[in-house]
Structure 1
Amino acid sequence: MSTDRRRIVLFDLFGVIARHQRPGALEKMAARCHTSAEDFNTAYWAHRPPYDAGWQTASAYWTHVLHALSRSADADTIEELRLTDIDSWSRVDDRMVTYVRDLRDRARVALLSNIPADHADAFLAAQPWLHDLDHLALSGRIGAAKPDPAAFQYCVVALQAAPADFLFVDDREEDVRAAQEVGMDGHVFRSQDDLAAVIDAWLPTR
């Protein structure tokens, strides 16, 4: 076990520190594929889990999506969709970024995000402050995505801690329940103010 027994706040990324997908992005990609937004949305998410978990390359993922839509999976189309997709997930909440960075004075801070490997590369290049956190568990790199218990167990091992040392923060109730099932505390994120109160109560007083 680590000699650093400070508690660990483990953050989800999208919907907590980063914004959800840019409005209109799926419609833009659907138009590029000459298909309806509804059909594109179905294919986009149906084939996403292996890509998120790092079991599939971006090229393989987009090939599956395009074939599901009965469209040709040529290299130019795949690359255009891939870059549009990455851009659609690129926004952060600056106020939350400041809060997370300042929190490191009081606790260890780590990240557990469902994000494909190529998205992670782009996001880390654009947001270098993430490298200052105590650990980054990015699904496309660790081979496990929430709510798989393996994603949470990876964090426990990587940070040389016990599950009870963690407070996991996510905007998805399903993922928070999964963290709780492996022994972590959990909080469903709704606002920064609510989160700050929960963390203040959860961290030991000095």
Structure 2
Amino acid sequence: MSTRRPVVLFDLFGVIACHQRPGALDEMAALSGAPTDAFTTAYWTLRQSYDAGRWTAPQYWTAVLGSLSLTAGSGTIERLRLADMDSWSRVDDRMVTYVRSLREHAEVALLSNIPADHADAFLTAQPWVRDLDHVAFSGKIKAAKPDPAAFRHCIAAMHAAPADFLFVDDRAENVRAAQATGMNGHVFTGREELAAAVDTWLPTP
């Protein structure tokens, strides 16, 4: 049963923040000494454990390099870690403004798949995030979308009912996972379409 506390729960990358910077994987591949295609496959294949907080950054990068039959010292791993972090650092300023304006009408929260060390850096660079009503980073809560545990964390942390949430993500599989927990969902395609959907969903004052 809904408590009629509207909560708009946002994904981060692809909605408020930009997707990974173009060319970043080529640069990281060059740092590692691996071909870009092989590096990209290893990077994404092993990413879930890093996003979900099961691996630290050194464990993740050691696994990536090991899968490529490469070894590297701590200096190379740190350069890869910092290059990776930088590649996910851009935000859409118009969406940041929109998200902040929504707090006049609803509670606003964030649920992002992001490693713990990336999350710390993002919070430092984007202090507006701390003003939101709740922030859940997968590397911190040990659950990454579309794992239902990630959505249940937000429900419990905000002491709200599932039906109070409108979850916004650019990946349909994550929206379906949120809906399976009882949340409402919207697949993000742009700011104007989102604003119209939110206006329709918000309770009438």
Give the TM-score of the pair, scaled to structure 2.
0.98
Written as runs of structure 1 = structure 2, the 5 A alignment for 1:86-101 is: 86-101=85-100
Q: Determine the C-alpha separation between the residues in 2 that align with 1:84 and 1:7.
A: 38
**CA distances 1:55-105 after superposition (whole Å, capped 9, x unpaired):** 110000000001111111310010000000000000000000000000000
Written as runs of structure 1 = structure 2, the 5 A alignment for 1:149-168 is: 149-168=148-167
Secondary structure of the 2:129 match is: helix
**Root-mean-square deviation (Å):** 1.3
Runs ≥4 in structure 1, deviation > 4 angstroms?
none
Task: Quote the residue 2:54 is aligned against.
Answer: 55
The 8 Å contact of residues 67 and 73 in structure 1, kept in 2 or not, is answered as no
**Superposition deviation, residue 6 in structure 1:** 2.2
AA matched with 2:73? D
Q: Determine the C-alpha separation between the residues in 1 that align with 2:72 and 2:184.
A: 44
* Runs of 5+ unmatched residues, structure 2: none
Query: Is it true that 1:201 corresponds to 2:180 in the alignment?
Result: no
Q: Determine the C-alpha separation between the residues in 2 that align with 1:70 and 1:149.
A: 34
**CA distances 1:137-156 after superposition (whole Å, capped 9, x unpaired):** 10000010000000000000
Task: Quote the residue 1:144 is aligned against.
Answer: 143
The 8 Å contact of residues 5 and 160 in structure 2, kept in 1 or not, is answered as no
Q: Determine the C-alpha separation between the residues in 2 that align with 1:73 and 1:160.
A: 45
Q: Determine the C-alpha separation between the residues in 1 that align with 2:91 and 2:165.
A: 23
Give the TM-score of the pair, scaled to structure 1.
0.97
* Runs of 5+ unmatched residues, structure 1: none
Task: Quote the residue 2:111 is aligned against.
Answer: 112
Query: Is it true that 1:77 corresponds to 2:104 in the alignment?
Result: no
**Superposition deviation, residue 15 in structure 1:** 0.1
Task: Quote the residue 1:183 is aligned against.
Answer: 182
Aligned residue pairs, count: 205
Task: Quote the residue 1:9 is aligned against.
Answer: 8
